[in-house]
Amino acid sequence: MNFPALIMVICSAFIGAVGQIEFKRGAGLFDLTFNGMITNYHIITGLCLYACATVLYLVALKEGELSLLYPIIATSYIWVLLFSKYFFDEPVNMINAFGVCIIIVGITLISYR
């Protein structure tokens, strides 16, 4: 596997997860008016982070194989789970931990050649 592409996809997943946290923070302040949307810096930050994550992902795809890189995006689910616990004190239980293990095993199996 192309190591720089792998690092870029991991960073893309991480940045995308941070974008999700910003969306959650902005959702509480969300107002469906023009002024409300352009002044909600959490939503704007989330969009910017998503744009950065997308650019990183596109550069990685230019260098690597889609079938190997795309499954790594699933790590964003793990990041969001951890960030949600830390920032919003959302519950994390054994079922969540089992799901994380399944994601990791799945990524490992798909990446193995």
Domain ranges of the chain: 3-111
What is the DSSP annotation of 16-41? HHHHHHHHHHHHTT--SSHHHHHT-H
Of 13, 14, 19, 17, the closest CA to residue 44 belongs to: 19
Res 28: pLDDT: 87
With residues binned 3-state (H G I as helix, E B as strand, rest as coil), the percentages for the chain, rounded to 5, are: 85, 0, 15
| Mean pLDDT of the chain, nearest integer | 92
Q: Give tens-digit pLDDT for 98-110.
A: 999 999 999 999 8
Predicted local confidence at residue 1, as pLDDT: 65
pLDDT classification of 37: cutoffs 50, 70, 90: confident
pTM over 0.85: yes
Question: What letter would DSSP give residue 74?
Answer: G
Whose tokens are 């616990």? That residue is 85
Query: What are the angstrom distances between the C-alpha of 40 and each of 15, 18, 44, 110?
Result: 19, 16, 6, 39
Is the confidence at residue 52, as pLDDT, over 80?
Answer: yes
